[in-house]
Amino acid sequence: MSVKVGIPRALLYYYYYPLWKDFFESLGCEVVLSDKSNKGILDSGIKNTVDEACLPVKLAFGHVKNLADKPVDYIFIPRLVSVAYKEYICPKFLGFPDMARQNIVGLPAVIDTTISFMRKRHNVDQAYKQLGKKFSGNPIKVRQAYHKGLRALAKYNQLLLKGHLPEEAMSIMYDRSAKASQVKPCGDLNIAIIGHPYNIYDPYISMNIIKRLQSMGVVVVTPDHLSEDEVRHQAGRLPKKLFWTLGQRMIGAGYHYAESEDIDGIIHIAAFGCGPDSMTGELIERNIRGSTKLPFLNLTLDEHTGEAGVITRLEAFLDMVRWKNSPKKQFIS
Amino acid sequence: MKVTFPHMGYLYVCVKGLLEYLDIEVILPPPTSKRTLTLGTKYGPEFACMPLKLNLGNMIEASELGADTLIMIGGCGPCRFGYYAQVEYAILKDLGYHYNMVVLEPPDKHISELTTRIRKITGNKSWVQVIKAIRFAYQKSRAVDEVELMSFKIRPRELVLGETDRALAKAIKEIDNAASPQQLQLALLRSKDIMNSVAIDPNRPVIKIALIGEIYTLLDPFSNLNIERHLGRLGVEVDRSIYLSEWINDHLFMGLLKGIRSTKEYCQSAAPFLNHFVGGHGLETIGSVSVYAKRGYHGAIQLFPFTCMPEIVAQSILPKVGDALAMPVMTLIVDEHSGEAGMITRLEAFVDLLTRKREFKAN
Ligand code: SF4
Ligand code: SF4
């Protein structure tokens, strides 16, 4: 029987799952995902974390717990220190494996490999080499697995760049029954949603915001539809380099979409009490309000956010955008 | 040029000392007050940590007094502090407060970035003089720490309520007024005399509590609601996991000065509970518990501002550390809504618990 490695459907799952999946599978492991986010998962996460933790961390705790109950042989909770040279994600990612280990009872073995691009790329290859040793004594096989993972990741990123959302991209890659080329949603408005991947793509905690907007006739774009170069180029306009990789994506996308002709509005989604969001959100909002007339909506998510309230705000926002877009100039003259 | 910088407890004593030693005109922000906090809360991002809001309030109030140049420290992550200056600058600019901002931080590419920035303030003063000024400021921070440490021991034993606080204020003033290293030596002697003149009962039994957590809230009495004073009055001798001079040595001098306290020991004691640094002082917070347990402390109180990321990581692990070491730990989170009355109630309950635990052990 093959070894079961559990991967939580949370945090940077939305960025790295294809890499992790192909890597572990090439080494003969069976990859087990936690269930899709739901009330039960969030509630168990809330029960197992401190009140002050942000929503995504609480949810991630729930996913880890969900895997622990499955059961699996290992849970993969890498310590994601840094995913780009001299940058970080958030202090909470640095401590997450310890937080989980100290608080969730009955955890199977935790794989908490440290992934850090802080100094140089080389360290990451090393990390996967170390990690692979657990499952194969053959270094060549491990290297092949890593490269296979990287190829899967490259393909995934290509799909995102083509305008697919993470869930779609993954089903294109892994779900044989899904149609290879899905029809792109169309609508009369283009709205950019700016936020952490684990907030905007998780259908449960985002209250399905993307699907909801699509059904209201909106074409949704996100930071992940922009190339790394573009995002970094835009973020380079900041007076000082931002040391959060995800913050760079958000600022860069905010600046890009604020300037692009065919964007009708921007929605910024932040988790309640999120440290980085409090800074990047402020900078994005000041930029948009200062230099454009683009409609901007700030949505804060936490476990008490009511769905009804969010829908009302979205509808009001879209009404406002549509009203602004209407040919009012003719009307005035 | 009228230079200002934000408050953090007694930090002003050494920074002001440094600048004045170089004949630079300093405008201190008025002591942090409710108004400072109100200003910062009104104009700062809602979920920013409280130090950012207080900084912002300090900067607005100093600008009202005519300050035009602002010195800030920066950093390179992962916690928010490293981007404070830029966000504060953007907000101030939009509000119409025009500051020439000088951010002192580890240079991105070359050390010359830092030296050019220092030059912006020091003008044509020689580097020798700048170094002398830095040394002077450091001596001031040592002096402040010395009298603060004395106050921690004296306060729980004072015979007249409030005597220690009055003495401490006078002692700090002596150090603040010293304009040269020679004067500082004498001032320190006088300060110690002032502290020693407080009448105490040396035999009074005290409870010992370590204050651990985020640096700003530990060092700044306004933001920690005068916790040291309240604990002292409850008969508690405190120690803080961070002192100004230590922090300067660890972070600005890269630990160059040997033989003085350092937070390194804390970091080394954090495993296996927390196995990686998490920014800010989160690792130190975890490690300090075991260090204080070994030193015979009865309990620890973790202090941090609402939404502080490194401390939330620490907070979620602390109960496990406390259990393993049989050291009661309490967490206090402060924000703009915190009141002293509520905190005192919690402190009393905690001190009660520790007292009962100690008596139980003694029997
Ligand atoms: S970036 Fe924000 S939302 Fe993400 S873990 Fe950190 S505090 Fe939480
Ligand atoms: S350590 Fe905490 S309070 Fe201080 S800047 Fe960082 S997040 Fe804010």
For a ligand 1 pocket test, name from A12, A50, A55, A57 the mutation site with the most ligand atoms within 8 angstroms of its C-beta. Answer: A57
- Other Cβ atoms less than 10 A from the Cβ of A282: the count is 20
Average confidence score pLDDT of chain B = 94
**At CA A251, angle to CA A247 and CA A255, rounded to 5?**
170
H or E stretch at B42: helix B34-43
DSSP result, B291-318: HHHHTT-SEEEEEEETT-HHHHHHHHHH
CA dihedral B100, B3, B223, B305 (to 10 degrees): 30
- For the purposes of burial, counting CB atoms within 10 Å of the CB of B108, is it exposed (0-12), middle (13-18) or buried (19 or more)? exposed
Which residue carries 């518990």 as its tokens?
Answer: B289
Instruction: Take atom 6 of ligand 1 and give the residue whose Cα is closest.
Output: A90
**Residue A225 DSSP code:** G
Are B217 and B223 within 8 A, CB to CB? yes
The predicted structure's pLDDT at residue B262: 73
* Count of helices and strands (H, E) across chain B: 15, 7
Give the list of residues 6+ apart from residue B200 with CB closer than 8 angstroms, or none.
Answer: B154, B157, B158, B159
Q: B252-284 burial string, b = 16+ CB within 10 Å, else e?
A: eeeeeeeeeeebeebbebbeebbbbbbbbbbbb
Asked whether residue B159 carries a pLDDT value surpassing 50, the answer given is yes
Contact criterion met (CB < 8 Å) for A238 and B87: no
Asked whether residue A329 carries a pLDDT value surpassing 50, the answer given is no
A24 vs B116: CA distance, rounded Å: 50
Structural Rg of chain A based on CA atoms: 20
Per-residue pLDDT tens digits for B258-299 = 666 778 889 999 999 999 999 999 999 999 999 999 999 999
Please give the structure tokens belonging to residue B108.
């991105």
The CB of A90 under 6 Å from ligand 1? The reply is: yes
The predicted structure's pLDDT at residue A182: 58
B124 pLDDT tier (thresholds 50, 70, 90): confident
Asked whether residue B107 carries a pLDDT value surpassing 80, the answer given is no
The predicted structure's pLDDT at residue B75: 87
Mean pLDDT of A123-131: 87
Give the list of residues 6+ apart from residue A177 with CB closer than 8 angstroms, or none.
Answer: none
Are A256 and A239 within 8 A, CB to CB? no
Ligand 2 atom with the shortest distance to the CA of B311: 2
Average confidence score pLDDT of chain A = 92
Give whole-number Cα distances, B195 to B155, B190, B232, in Å: 10, 9, 15
Rounded to a whole number, what is the distance in Å from the CA of B35 to chain A's nearest CA? 22
Mean pLDDT of B230-238: 97
Are A232 and A210 within 8 A, CB to CB? no
Per-residue pLDDT tens digits for A203-251 = 999 999 999 999 999 999 999 999 999 999 999 999 999 999 999 999 9
Asked whether residue B234 carries a pLDDT value surpassing 70, the answer given is yes
Lowest mean pLDDT among B128-132, B256-260, B267-271, B307-311: B256-260
Give the list of residues 6+ apart from residue B116 with CB closer than 8 angstroms, or none.
Answer: none
β-pair type (A296-301, B3-4): unpaired
Secondary structure (3-state) at A266: strand
Instruction: Take atom 3 of ligand 1 and give the residue whose Cα is closest.
Output: A274
In this complex, the residue of B76, B90, B282 whose CB is nearest that of residue A243 is B76
Give whole-number Cα distances, B89 to B55, B86, B97, B103, B117, in Å: 11, 5, 9, 11, 16
Per-residue pLDDT tens digits for A131-184 = 999 999 999 999 999 999 999 999 999 999 999 999 999 999 998 776 655 566
Mean pLDDT of A41-66: 97
Cβ neighbours of A239 in B, within 8 Å: 86, 89
The CB of A187 under 6 Å from ligand 2? The reply is: no
Chain B interface includes A240 (CB < 8 A): yes
Percent of chain B at pLDDT exceeding 90: 87
A66 vs A104: CA distance, rounded Å: 11
Asked whether residue B39 carries a pLDDT value surpassing 50, the answer given is yes
Asked whether residue B255 carries a pLDDT value surpassing 70, the answer given is no
Please give the structure tokens belonging to residue B297.
């402390």
**A 294-333: CB under 8 A from B:** none
Are A128 and A22 within 8 A, CB to CB? no
Instruction: Tell me, in angstroms, the distance from the centre of ligand 1 to residue A55's CA.
Output: 8
The predicted structure's pLDDT at residue A333: 41
**At CA A264, angle to CA A263 and CA A269, rounded to 5?**
90
Cβ neighbours of A95 in B, within 8 Å: 274, 276, 278, 282, 310, 313-314, 317
The predicted structure's pLDDT at residue B131: 92
- Residue whose C-alpha is closest to residue B145's, from B258, B274, B239: B239
Per-residue pLDDT tens digits for B70-101 = 999 988 889 999 999 999 999 999 999 999 99
Instruction: Tell me, in angstroms, the distance from the centre of ligand 1 to residue A144's CA.
Output: 33
Contact criterion met (CB < 8 Å) for A273 and B306: yes
The predicted structure's pLDDT at residue B106: 79
H or E stretch at A14: helix A13-26
Asked whether residue A330 carries a pLDDT value surpassing 60, the answer given is no
Rounded to a whole number, what is the distance in Å from the CA of A194 to chain B's nearest CA? 17
A153 vs A156: CA distance, rounded Å: 5
Secondary structure (3-state) at A106: coil
For a ligand 2 pocket test, name from B46, B308, B336 the mutation site with the most ligand atoms within 8 angstroms of its C-beta. Answer: B308
The CB of B81 under 6 Å from ligand 2? The reply is: yes
Q: What pTM does this model have?
A: 0.95
Structural Rg of chain B based on CA atoms: 21
B53 vs B55: CA distance, rounded Å: 5
Q: Is the dihedral of CA A163, A168, A170, A172 positive or negative?
A: negative
Cβ neighbours of A117 in B, within 8 Å: none
β-pair type (B207-213, A74-76): unpaired
Cβ neighbours of A86 in B, within 8 Å: 76
Per-residue pLDDT tens digits for A254-278 = 999 999 999 999 999 999 989 999 9
Mean pLDDT of B237-252: 88
Longest dimension (CA), chain B: 68
A149 vs A130: CA distance, rounded Å: 15
Which residue carries 């040997």 as its tokens?
Answer: B258
DSSP result, B126-179: -HHHHHHHHHHHHHHHHHHHHHHHHHHHHGGGBSSTTHHHHHHHHHHHHHHH--
Cβ neighbours of B91 in A, within 8 Å: 282, 286
Residue of B309, B315, B323 to mutate when probing chain A, most A C-beta within 10 A: B309
Mean pLDDT of A102-126: 87
Ligand 2 atom with the shortest distance to the CA of B48: 8
